[in-house]
């Protein structure tokens, strides 16, 4: 999977808050070639001291907790351009683990700490963008709670696919309504709290109804408007817009 550029990251932050030229330069100066990690690598361990933010520059990961029984709860999918360990509390400890789903690369952007500490006095636009990035992380967690607590199987899959497409589009990583999607049906089952059999049936139903094709490392949304209506994703999008 290709590595994002400073321009990709700036596009994401610009979508949250306008950046001055000097602030865009700060982002460019911080984003260096990524450090590689294999699939399954723990990028941030629950309970570990957070030593400053990093950004995922390629590959996919997820935020999760694993119970002693081995059962896993997924809170969010982490995509290229997302931050790991972006936290405003002093001396924070990670509340969940971030684990690589695929081979990934990360870049240390601890140089953002002074911007965060100045609370907007330094690089106001960048500070607001980082604040809203944290806000959107929180909102995606709430979206996941709604999926698991109130949505049917087809609604869960549809809303997740629309969310992934929306986030990847901001990073310039979509082709129309198609995108690379390395989550296997096993990954989807864990993420969406469904059995593998139920995921397979739901994916087949989406294909049969002409709504979407999901598999072989790719997702294509053939009827995005019907998927939005089906999954209430429009309401989620409006909530995000209001948060900005």
Span 1-22, pLDDT tens digits: 678 888 889 988 998 999 988 8
pLDDT bracket for residue 148 (50, 70, 90)? very high
Q: 24 versus 182: which is more confidently predicted?
A: 182
In the DSSP assignment, the letter for residue 100 is E
Architecture field, domain 152-243: Orthogonal Bundle (1.10)
| Amino acid 164: pLDDT | 96
| Amino acid 235: pLDDT | 58
Q: With a threshold of 0.85, does the pTM exceed it?
A: yes
Q: Are 65 and 44 in contact (CB under 8 A)?
A: no
Output the CATH code of domain 6-146: 2.60.120.10
| Amino acid 183: pLDDT | 97
Sign (positive/negative) of CA torsion 31, 35, 40, 45?
negative
Exposed e or buried b per residue across 99-118, where buried means at least 16 C-beta atoms within 10 angstroms of its C-beta:
bbbbbbbbbbbeebeebbee
Q: Which residues contact 5 (CB under 8 A, 6 or more apart)?
A: 31
How confident is the model over 159-206, as pLDDT tens digits? 999 999 999 999 999 999 999 999 999 999 999 999 999 999 999 999
For the chain, give every domain's residue range: 6-146, 152-243
């Amino acid at each position: 999977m290709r590595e994002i550029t400073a321009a990709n990251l700036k596009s994401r932050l610009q979508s949250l808050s306008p950046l001055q030229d000097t602030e865009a330069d700060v982002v460019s100066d911080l984003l260096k070639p990524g450090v590689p990690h294999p699939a399954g690598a723990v990028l941030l361990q629950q309970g570990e001291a957070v030593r400053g933010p990093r950004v995922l520059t390629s590959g996919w990961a997820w935020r999760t907790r694993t119970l002693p029984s081995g059962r896993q709860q997924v809170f969010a999918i982490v995509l290229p351009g997302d931050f790991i360990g972006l936290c405003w509390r002093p001396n924070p400890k990670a509340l969940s683990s971030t684990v690589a789903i695929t081979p990934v690369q990360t870049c240390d952007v601890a140089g953002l700490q002074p911007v965060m500490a100045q609370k907007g006095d330094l690089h106001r636009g960048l500070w607001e963008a980082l604040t809203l990035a944290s806000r959107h992380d929180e909102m995606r967690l709430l979206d996941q709670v709604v999926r698991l607590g109130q949505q049917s199987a087809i609604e869960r899959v549809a809303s997740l696919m629309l969310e992934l497409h929306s986030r990847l589009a901001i990073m310039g990583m979509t082709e129309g309504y198609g995108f690379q999607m390395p989550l296997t049906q096993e990954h989807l089952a864990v993420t969406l709290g469904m059995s593998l059999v139920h995921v397979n049936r739901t994916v087949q139903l989406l294909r049969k109804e002409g709504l979407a094709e999901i598999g072989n490392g790719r997702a294509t949304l053939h009827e995005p408007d019907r998927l939005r209506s089906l999954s209430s994703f429009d309401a989620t999008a409006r909530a995000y817009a209001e948060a900005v």
